[in-house]
């Protein structure tokens, strides 16, 4: 069943209204209709830097209003607050004052993120640990109701779109000023652009101030080839999202994960592989469109994916997947904790916090004795075993980074488990690569094997990423272990042949050598304009046919 990309009726007033059921996202016709108007005005002001920036800031705030409603006020607060603190940090002359300003910025930004994203999670766990019945309070709704006699719900805190992404940008900006690697932005409009630029606002890439702000004052330039590449990325992203990701999700993956016990272990395994493809197509598809839209307006966004399912090991995968987040966690969390140089006080504090949470949630009161015994044994052995101290603390830093990275994705222990498993995978690989019999082999069989093994491990960890509860994850594992159903595999493959064909085609394209992909991108960019127009029409028709009855939201909008 398909649905029209055009609204059944159109009222001009709806253009300025926020509709929770229809956020303004790249896969909606309304976005592209508005973007045509935005780009038309942009062509009139693009030669004047101040007007261009002002127009893009206004458009970005409007798009965010259409995506998150009144949360545009929260974004406005972050813009003003971090701009003023950035200026204060740049003007500070003493180290104590610089540190105080940095601590204020990081604390306020993390408190906002924690309140909006983790309040329910924290309250639920407190209730579980202490058998209380607290409820989270939406203070903003309560204030609005009291001030304006409004009727906002006060016991539910909604998640603003993109808050995880722009909060990390605010923190990196403050840290970079403290480190002296960037100078504070002197113009509020420039900082507003850095934080709110609409192509990357909702789901990244996570841009650094040093990467985006210098582009603001460069003369606008869009060559014929750049225009072609931009159009290619937009079409490529739409195909990934709607034709590949949504088709696999709606017709197979979502059905299996809605009740894994109704399906055989083979179907659960294929759904996991399908989800790995879906989440990549969904997220990288969004990134492709964001890069293309930004390029049309003369801005270059950071690369966020580099064919991650070509990775030969877990470490290689995380260098290729969500590269801006991986880089952020490395530069602003892993290295400050000590990185591969050793541990820090923060490392041990975080370990104690994690251990305390596990004890309170599980009731394993014997765990402190085990923890203290392990610490004592470690202290003794460190005196007699050279390099043990560094080996343990660097792996501890890695695990903590991945656990926090997992929690960044969502307020659920499922994401923490997923992050922890990936952290363990990285630690195991660090030791395994020293003795791996095929790790350095260039033979194609060895290459295929390590790529498949890495892809399978990453897919396995996504049991907890995709499942909405531990019961769902356990049901998936149970079916795989006890009811694999290999005898019906042929029937399953035939029944869902369109899904598996799309999956196969998607993986084949993904595994194409980079020189082949670069060649057809370049060839597309050199096509005559009429041929590009034909390609656009064909893709729009394909997308129109593939759109499901209900628009499937981008997965990373929830993060």
Dump the DSSP string for 11-58.
Answer: -GGGGGS--TTS---TTSHHHHHHHHHHHHHHHHHTTSHHHHHHHHHH
Structure-token match 């293309």, residue found? 292
At residue 351, what are phi and psi to the nearest 5 degrees? -65, -40
As a whole number of angstroms, the distance between CA 208 and CA 426 comes to: 26
Tokens of 125: 């766990």
Tally Cβ neighbours within 10 Å of residue 192: 24
Beta carbons of 92 and 101 less than 8 angstroms apart? yes
Collapsing DSSP states into helix, strand and coil, what is residue 305? coil
**Roughly what angle, to the nearest 10 degrees, separates helices 72-91 and 163-179?**
10
Beta carbons of 415 and 465 less than 8 angstroms apart? yes
Catalytic residue among 247, 322, 409, 510: 409
- The Cα diameter of the chain in Å comes to 77
Centroid of chain to Cα 105: 22
Beta carbons of 536 and 231 less than 8 angstroms apart? yes
As a whole number of angstroms, the distance between CA 171 and CA 109 comes to: 7
Produce one character per residue of 56-93: b if its CB has 16 or more CB atoms within 10 Å, e if not: bbebbbbbbbbbbbebbebbeebbebbbebbbbbbebe
Tokens of 2: 């398909």
Beta carbons of 117 and 167 less than 8 angstroms apart? no
Instruction: Output the CA–CA distances (angstroms, integers) from residue 159 to 67, 120, 151, 199, in the order listed.
Output: 12, 11, 18, 19
Beta carbons of 274 and 184 less than 8 angstroms apart? no
As a whole number of angstroms, the distance between CA 174 and CA 340 comes to: 24
Tokens of 9: 């009726």
- What totals of helices (H) and strands (E) does the chain contain, helices first? 26, 0
Produce one character per residue of 289-303: b if its CB has 16 or more CB atoms within 10 Å, e if not: bbbbbbbbbbbebbe
As a whole number of angstroms, the distance between CA 45 and CA 52 comes to: 5
To the query of whether residue 443 is one of the catalytic residues in this protein, the response is no
Spatial neighbors of 419 by CB under 8 A, at least 6 apart, are 402, 403, 404, 405, 406, 407, 409
As a whole number of angstroms, the distance between CA 128 and CA 422 comes to: 27
Instruction: Output the CA–CA distances (angstroms, integers) from residue 63 to 167, 250, 291, in the order listed.
Output: 18, 27, 17
Tokens of 256: 């299996």
Tally Cβ neighbours within 10 Å of residue 41: 15
Tally Cβ neighbours within 10 Å of residue 322: 22
Q: Which residues are catalytic?
A: 409
């Amino acid at each position: 069943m398909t649905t029209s990309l055009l609204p059944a009726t159109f009222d001009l007033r709806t253009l300025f209204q926020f509709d929770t059921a229809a956020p303004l996202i790249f896969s909606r016709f309304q976005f592209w209709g508005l973007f045509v108007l935005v780009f038309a005005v942009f062509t009139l002001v693009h030669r004047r830097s101040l007007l261009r920036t002002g127009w893009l800031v206004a458009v970005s705030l409007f798009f965010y209003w259409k995506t998150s409603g009144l949360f545009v006020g929260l974004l406005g607060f972050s813009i003003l607050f971090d701009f003023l603190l950035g200026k204060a940090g740049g003007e500070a002359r003493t180290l104590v004052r610089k540190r105080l300003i940095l601590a204020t910025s990081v604390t306020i930004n993390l408190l906002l993120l924690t309140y909006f994203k983790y309040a329910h999670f924290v309250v639920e766990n407190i209730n579980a640990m202490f058998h209380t019945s607290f409820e989270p309070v939406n203070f903003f709704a309560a204030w609005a109701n009291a001030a304006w006699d409004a009727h906002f719900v006060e016991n539910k805190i909604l998640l603003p779109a993109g808050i995880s992404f722009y909060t990390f940008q605010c923190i990196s900006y403050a840290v970079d000023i403290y480190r002296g690697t960037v100078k504070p932005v002197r113009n509020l409009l420039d900082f507003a652009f850095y934080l709110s630029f609409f192509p990357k606002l909702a789901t990244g890439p996570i841009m650094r101030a040093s990467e985006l702000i210098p582009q603001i004052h460069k003369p606008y330039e869009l060559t014929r080839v750049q225009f072609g590449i931009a159009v290619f990325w937009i079409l490529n992203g739409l195909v990934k999202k709607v034709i590949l990701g949504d088709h696999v999700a709606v017709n197979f993956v979502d059905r299996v994960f809605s009740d894994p016990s109704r399906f055989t272990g083979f179907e659960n395994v294929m759904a996991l592989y399908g989800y790995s493809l879906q989440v990549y197509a969904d997220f990288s598809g969004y990134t492709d469109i964001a890069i293309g839209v930004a390029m049309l307006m003369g801005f270059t966004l950071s690369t966020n994916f580099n064919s991650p399912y070509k990775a030969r090991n877990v470490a290689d995968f995380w260098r290729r997947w969500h590269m801006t987040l991986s880089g952020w966690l490395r530069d602003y969390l892993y290295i400050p904790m000590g990185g591969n140089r050793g541990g820090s006080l923060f490392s041990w504090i975080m370990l104690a916090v994690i251990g305390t949470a596990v004890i309170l949630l599980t009731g394993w009161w014997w765990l402190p004795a085990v923890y203290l015994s392990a610490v004592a044994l470690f202290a003794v052995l460190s005196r007699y075993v050279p390099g043990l101290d560094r080996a343990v603390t660097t792996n501890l830093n890695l695990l903590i980074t991945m656990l926090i990275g997992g929690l960044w994705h969502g307020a659920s222990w499922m994401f923490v488990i997923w992050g922890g498993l990936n952290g363990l995978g990285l630690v195991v690989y660090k030791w395994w690569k020293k003795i791996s019999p095929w790790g350095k082999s260039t033979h194609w069989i060895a290459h295929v094997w390590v790529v498949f093994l890495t892809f399978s491990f990453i897919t396995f960890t996504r049991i907890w990423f995709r499942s909405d509860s531990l019961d769902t994850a356990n049901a998936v594992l149970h079916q795989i272990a006890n009811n694999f159903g290999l005898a019906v595999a042929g029937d399953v493959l035939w029944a869902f042949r369109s899904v598996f064909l799309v999956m196969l085609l998607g993986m084949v394209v993904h595994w194409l050598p980079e020189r082949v992909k670069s060649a057809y991108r370049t060839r597309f960019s050199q096509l005559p304009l009429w041929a590009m127009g034909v390609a656009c029409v064909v893709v729009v028709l394909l997308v129109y046919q593939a759109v499901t009855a209900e628009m499937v939201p981008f997965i990373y909008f929830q993060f």
